[in-house]
Amino acid sequence: MNTVDRFIAYFNPHGAFKRQAARRALDVLNTGYSESGASTTKKALKGWRARSKSPQSDIDLNLDTLRQRSRDLFMSGALGRSAIVTPRTNVIGAGLKLKSRIDHELLGLTREQADEWERKTEREFALWAESRFCDALRMNNFYELQSVLFMSALLNGDGWVAIKQGDPKPYFPYALRLHLFEGDRVCTPWGTTGYPTISSVIGRNEKNGNRIINGVEIDQSGAVVAYWIANKYLHDPTAPMTETEWVRVEAFGKRTGQPNILQIMETERCEQYRGVPFLAPVIQSIKQISQYTEAELTAAIILSFFTVFVKEGQNSFSDFPIAEAVQDSEKVDFDPNSLELGSGTINVLPPGFEIETADPKRPASTFDVFVTALARQIGAALEIPYELLLKSFTSSYSASRAALLEAWKAFKMRRTWFANDFCQPIYEMWLSEAIARGRVNAPGYFNDPLMAKAWSRAEWHGPAPGQIDPTKEVQAAKMRVENGFSTRERETIELTGGDFDRNIEQLQRENQLMKNAGLLPEGGVKSE
């Protein structure tokens, strides 16, 4: 109680008590976020009962439902499919290509020696990567597998790769094989009944006491030590007679330390072991857009089947029956109680019937505005500008370029993530085998992890962003190079996705051919 309160209390004790009680009430109310985001008294938040818990409760128990709905939107919804294939096309494209970048200073090599080693290694890697024999199923080459795996990670929340060894062939001298499979098969053993529950998601390895979270076995410290993989999709109607069995695969090899299983996922929470489908936060919005679009399309089709009925006069004795709206060859349902509409039909009605037409006012004038507004929100959640999501570019140059640049921030981030989690580990495993077989020479690779890291350094390049105004883009690239802000190699990658060294070699050859043909002056490039 301060001096003023003491003075009031001396002359008016009751008033002083009310002042003190009011002050205590204010202290209780004004604690942190009690009057903002955590308020339980404001009308806007009064009925909001958020109950977020552990990643296992929030993610793993709902993962199966999210996965099925994500696939359904991809298979049956235009916007859902665009949200998946747009990142795939821009992040992966035709595949991320290897660009070896060894640490020649640590390895004691000159720049020329390093360039020669990198070219030979890239050529040798292409022997493995461009063959379907790198795929355990012999369906795709390494670059096509990248596209499949990236889409699987977006659709299902995580993509999975089993590292296998096959028999080398005279025409394919490597044993490394990649087997891609979907996350449905990574599940806790015996969790096979009904909808996901705690017991079907969280299990325990009875042999060592480790916990198993949705097929991922972790030790006492929470580190991943193994994966449990089923031999089929659970409740798969195409294999009803096959008994479900699980195989425990250790996460890393005991001798090499290399991964036996690769899990490709974007982690969004601490202590999260399974990924969330890319479409998860916008599933409801995309589904409602699909339903709205279908309703508008159905109404427009019905409107196009506008039928006219003509009333006969009272003295008309025509025995001509009511015309069929749809020919027998075009009928969908032959039930006499089922009504079908056909286009451009004129019917004759018995006396006493009147014509009544309905105008559904379709398509609604607000359809495009409404869908575009929702697409903006969906794009914001997925880091895809709505122009890319809808493939509609009607804005100004500045706005379109800003949208493209913002999209490429997300695309580059996901490309780096994918290259780090998939491309680089696979390259390192291939390089280890190539060196062990004597096809690539890398002294000290197996003796020192630092040397192995120096030999295996690489970059992974994918499709270029493209240019809205090529002249401006090229001029800006030229200025960056001239002022030392960038390099010709980097700008070549950014503008066209090409290889600067190969471009120089090809240009040298082309210029020599043009010079020999008298089409190029002695000084170099022909001037305008």
Q: What is the pLDDT of residues 169-216, one digit of tens each?
A: 999 999 999 999 999 999 998 755 555 666 678 889 989 999 999 999
- Write down the pTM of the prediction: 0.81
Tell me if 283 is assigned to some domain. no
CA–CA gap between residue 402 and residue 406 (Å, rounded): 6
Among residues 240, 259, 277, the one where a domain terminates is 277
- Cα separation, 384 vs 375, whole angstroms: 10
Does residue 244 sit within a domain? yes
Shared domain for 1 and 113, answered yes or no, is no
Domain boundaries, position 89: 56-277
Residue 196 and residue 260 in one domain: yes
Going by C-alpha positions, the residue among 55, 233, 100 that lies closest to residue 160 is: 233
**Residue 386: which residues within 8 A CB-CB, separation 6 or more?**
372, 375, 376, 378, 379, 392
Query: How far apart, in whole angstroms, are the C-alpha atoms of residue 342 and residue 437?
Result: 71
Domain annotation covers residue 319:
no
Per-chain mean pLDDT for the chain: 85
Of 59-63, 118-122, 461-465, the range with the highest mean pLDDT is: 118-122
Residue 518 lies in a domain: no
Report pLDDT for 29.
Answer: 56
In tens, the pLDDT along 293-310 reads 888 888 787 777 765 555
Is position 265 within any domain? yes
**Residue 306 located in a structural domain:** no
Dihedral sign for Cα atoms in the order 368, 372, 374, 378 = positive
Cα–Cα distances (Å) from 424 to 96, 138, 197, 457, in that order, read 11, 21, 37, 9
19 and 104 housed in the same domain: no
219 is a domain residue: yes
Q: Confirm whether 48 is domain-assigned.
A: no
Q: What is the mean pLDDT of residues 319-331?
A: 57
Structure token digits, residue 495: 């503008």
Residues 202 and 154 in one domain: yes
259, 277, 295 — which closes off a domain? 277
Residues 97 and 178 occupy one common structural domain: yes
Q: What is the structure's pLDDT at 147?
A: 97
Q: Tell me: do 1 and 125 sit in the same domain.
A: no
Residue 368 banded pLDDT, cuts 50, 70, 90: confident
Q: Which residue among 233, 253, 277 closes a domain?
A: 277
The number of distinct structural domains making up the chain is: 2
Q: Enter the tokens of residue 32.
A: 């942190």
* pLDDT of 10 strictly over 70: no
Q: Which of 237, 229, 145, 249 is nearest to 184 (CA)?
A: 229
pLDDT tens-place string over residues 391-403: 887 777 778 888 8
Give the C-alpha separation, 203 to 60, whole Å. Answer: 12
Q: Please, what's the b/e burial string for 81-107 (b: 16 or more CB within 10 A of its CB; e: otherwise)?
A: ebbbebbbebbbbebbbbebebebeeb
Q: With H, G, I as helix, E, B as strand and everything else as coil, classify residue 263.
A: strand
CA atoms within 13 A on the CB side of 323: 16
Task: Mark whether 154 and 103 lie in a shared domain.
Answer: yes
Same domain, 64 and 19: no
